[in-house]
Structure 1
Amino acid sequence: MAHSHSHSHHDHVHLHGDQKGKRLFITIFLNILITVAQVVGGIISGSLSLISDALHNFSDVLSLLVSYFANLLSKKKASPGKTYGYKRAEILAAFINSASLMIISLVLIKEAIERFLHPAEVAADLVIWLSLLGIIFNGGSVLLLKRDAAANMNLKSAYLHLITDMLASVAVLVGGILMKWYQLYWVDPLLTLIIAVYLIYMGYNLLISSTRVLMLFTPDAVHVKDIVDHLNSIEGVNNVHHVHIWQLNEDDIHMEAHIDFQRDIRLSEFDSILQKIEAVALEKFGITHLNIQPEYGKCDDKRIIAEH
């Protein structure tokens, strides 16, 4: 069985790994400060929206810790007992973080409904000052992770947490002002409800995309029939079948397939054709890792997708 693997992107990832970890660590520290301040302030002021923002921040602390350790684990080398190493750690972290967003959202919706039924007065001044603190700290955290989030599902999950936190703090600030000047205390549970619905909206797509990777689904951007058509057009190739394509993580797309050749070729000829296959797979479809089983005149199922 032939095997190929492209390393073109790995040096870049390695160079930025340490900086990525440092930025995550600073962000964790900032979010711990916000969480403690808002929990204490929420209890003292009686603000559900401030406590909901604090719970959201606490979920960020947990998600950022998961992301931080996933980032460390992803650098560990493969071993005989872990032949892929910990390359899936960041995808697993993205799944946990997005799932936690959904769960916390449901808790916040329940609390908001109860507060609508039993409204309570809120100390608005404390709400205003602590929401300002949340905006400043979360804004700084968002800037720290913005660059890394564009190319990494794990850090994107943490980044989304922080953006929703910052927006939630803005909403709580507006609510604090309305409660202070107009005594509109129903704004507090309304904001909580809005924050919760927004969390569900932000977390859903990431939950689906991380689930697809964990379930070994074919990446959305990769079309199996197109790949097979391209490979079938290579001179010497008779039929491409038993195809499996999946993502190991965000950097690596793997493909395995059986290729039936038109004649009984020598190994040196196979290597020459394999180079063409590798070039097509990488350049046209971004596949970085290939496993090809060569065949000639074998009596087996020639379907593109076959369960086995």
Structure 2
Amino acid sequence: MGHHHHGHSHTHDDLKGRNLLISILLNIAITISQVIGGIISGSLALLSDALHNFSDVLSLIISYIATLLGKRKASSHKTFGYKRAEIMAAFVNAATLVVVAVILMIEAVERLLEPQEIESNLVIWLSLIGIAANGFSVLLLKKNSEENMNMKSAYLHLLTDMMASVAVLIGGLLMKFFQLYWVDALLTMAIGVYLIYMGYDLLKESTKVLMLFTPKSIVVKEIVESICTIEPVKNVHHVHIWQLNEEEIHLEAHIDFKEDIKLSEFDAILEQIEEHVYHKHGINHVNIQPEFDKCDSKNVIVQD
């Protein structure tokens, strides 16, 4: 077995943790103020925004815990450590986005059938506070969200909540100047649709990783064909490629050789394979089983 392993900075992880902690505290403050404001004003959009903010708090806590777990070392009982913690956090957070969206849309339909007068001034001020606080949190997490699925899930929660606050502000202004109270429920419905749209893609991607699907950027046939060009490789079969977490992609395969080569020769070929799959496909962990004249299935993909 051979592998490349590229570590990541602990300072980078500490910064992620700090930014998440700041965002958690900000969202707790927003949630409390919006619940109180929503009850006083009678605004469903404000209460729905508070519910979404509460889901943000939970998702950010999950992301924070996953970040902490991801730092833990592997052991004899946990040979991969907690490297999957952040992927699981992304899955849970994406699922909660969709669940919250459905709840909001049900509430919106009920309010559309029975519109109520709303204290728009309070709605406007609280939505402005929500935009400012969530906007700051979004900026804190934006950079990390581009390279980490867990941070992306937290970022999406905050981004959609900032958008929701913008929608609530627009609704508050329309209610204040035009008495269009049904806008409150309509905007809540729009927020729900947007949450489902944003959450589904992340839910799908995190599910693929948890199910050990081959990353979409990798074509198994191309890898097999390129390895077969190396002498004296005869056949590549029993291929499995999966993503462990954001940093690690694993390749497992059996290679049938044309001749009974020495172990030192195999090591040289293995090094070629490692370099090729890393630079061409981003695969940084390689596990190859060498074979010669062995009677087993030569199918590229083998169902265990």
The question of a shared fold, defined as TM-score above 0.5 by the shorter chain, is answered with yes
For 1:133, the equivalent position in structure 2 comes to 129
Q: Secondary structure at the match of 2:240?
A: strand
For 1:64, the equivalent position in structure 2 comes to 60
Aligned counterparts of 2:231 and 2:36: Cα–Cα separation in 1 = 71
Per-residue CA deviations over 1:37-88 (Å, capped at 9, x if unaligned) read 0011001100000001111111100000000000000110000110000000
Per-residue CA deviations over 1:242-281 (Å, capped at 9, x if unaligned) read 0000000011000100000110011111111111011111
Choose the corresponding residue for 1:298, options 294, 297, 302. Answer: 294
Aligned counterparts of 1:158 and 1:6: Cα–Cα separation in 2 = 30
Superposition pairs of residues 84-233 of structure 1, within 5 angstroms: 84-233=80-229
The one-letter code sitting in structure 1 at the alignment partner of 2:2 is: S
Choose the corresponding residue for 2:4, options 3, 6, 14. Answer: 6
Query: 1:306 deviation in Å?
Result: 1.1
The one-letter code sitting in structure 2 at the alignment partner of 1:57 is: N
Aligned counterparts of 1:98 and 1:5: Cα–Cα separation in 2 = 32
Aligned counterparts of 2:233 and 2:78: Cα–Cα separation in 1 = 34
For 2:31, the equivalent position in structure 1 comes to 35
| Gap runs ≥5 in structure 2 | none
Per-residue CA deviations over 1:105-157 (Å, capped at 9, x if unaligned) read 11001000000111111000000000000000000000100111110000001
Contact map agreement 2:228 2:236 (CA 8 A) in 1: yes
Aligned counterparts of 1:208 and 1:122: Cα–Cα separation in 2 = 38
Aligned counterparts of 1:277 and 1:44: Cα–Cα separation in 2 = 66
- Give me the TM-score of the superposition, normalised by structure 1: 0.98
The one-letter code sitting in structure 2 at the alignment partner of 1:256 is: E
Query: 1:15 deviation in Å?
Result: 3.1
Aligned counterparts of 1:249 and 1:97: Cα–Cα separation in 2 = 16
Per-residue CA deviations over 1:157-200 (Å, capped at 9, x if unaligned) read 11011111111101100100110111100000001000000000
| Gap runs ≥5 in structure 1 | none
Aligned counterparts of 1:276 and 1:81: Cα–Cα separation in 2 = 32
- Give me the TM-score of the superposition, normalised by structure 2: 0.99
Q: Percent identity?
A: 63
Give structure 1 regions of 4+ aligned residues with deviation exceeding 4 angstroms.
none
Aligned counterparts of 2:257 and 2:34: Cα–Cα separation in 1 = 66
Choose the corresponding residue for 1:50, options 46, 52, 71. Answer: 46
The answer to whether structure 1 residue 19 and structure 2 residue 15 are counterparts is yes
Contact map agreement 2:41 2:120 (CA 8 A) in 1: yes
